[in-house]
Amino acid sequence: MGVASAYQDQRVVVTGAGGGIGAALARGFAARGATVVVNDLDSDRAAAVAASIGDCATALPGDASAVAAEAREALGGEVDVYCANAGIAAGGDAFADEGVWEAAWDTNVMAHVRAARLLLPHWLERGSGRFVSTVSAAGLLTMIGAAPYSVTKHGALAFAEWLSLTYRHRGVRVHAICPQGVRTDMLAAAGSAGELVLAPTAIEPDAVADALFDGMEKGRFLILPHPEVAQHAAGRAADPDRWLRGMNRLQRTWEQR
């Protein structure tokens, strides 16, 4: 079955879809025949993206950490694909405020958990469902200057892995998208650390969406729009101390900027 027909008439939710990767995912699914709920905390941005897609898209403003039930209702009580894309790029170090850590944890991890709790019973009963988690390469590696972001993205990846290994034999497909820099508002907000680490190889959101659709067609769990991330992750696993020394050099370079 080709990609175009695979998503025909599928019911899809994309959180954080008011721009960037989320908007690209929503447009990509719609172009392949799906009906899409476009969720974003910013109601105007959600409405604009839904309007640009057309009649097969519905804008649903609201907090991604608690939107799954309403999104399901907007799709007539059924969800075939849930894209947990919304995220908080929380910078800071170990001394970041408790509220920063809590907000990052709530959106970057618990929003995924809550959506899965709601969707899994029906998916398991019918034997099919697809959960897409936008993680970032920070979940496989890390990101300097962003402890809350890095830690919670590791959590998002761990949860996606757990879902996949637990339910794949029961028809639930899980995909974790792990790009490096993507030309979005989030990259712009990453400041000098983003300029140093992410900007030089940044790609467009549409390239991330293309990588997801290619990966879904091939049944891949890990979606790497930047293929070099696989090499970095392999090096980290093979020799953690060497990798940490290299990252520490990057940290010192950033501190000296």
Active-site entry in 7, 82, 149, 167: 149
Alpha helix (H) residue ranges in the chain: 3-6, 20-31, 43-53, 68-74, 98-105, 111-126, 147-167, 185-189, 191-197, 205-217, 228-238, 240-255
Q: Per the structure block, which two tokens stand in for 83? A: 């894209």
For the beta carbon of residue 233, count every other beta carbon within 10 angstroms. Answer: 17
- How many whole angstroms separate alpha carbon 14 and alpha carbon 222? 18
Give the amino acid at 40: D
149 is annotated as an active-site residue? yes
- How many whole angstroms separate alpha carbon 156 and alpha carbon 65? 13
Nearest to 85 by CA among 177, 163, 218: 177
For the beta carbon of residue 137, count every other beta carbon within 10 angstroms. Answer: 23
**∠ CA 239-245-250 to the nearest 5 degrees?**
130
| Angle at which helices 43-53 and 20-31 cross, to 10° | 30
- By annotation, the residues acting in catalysis are 149
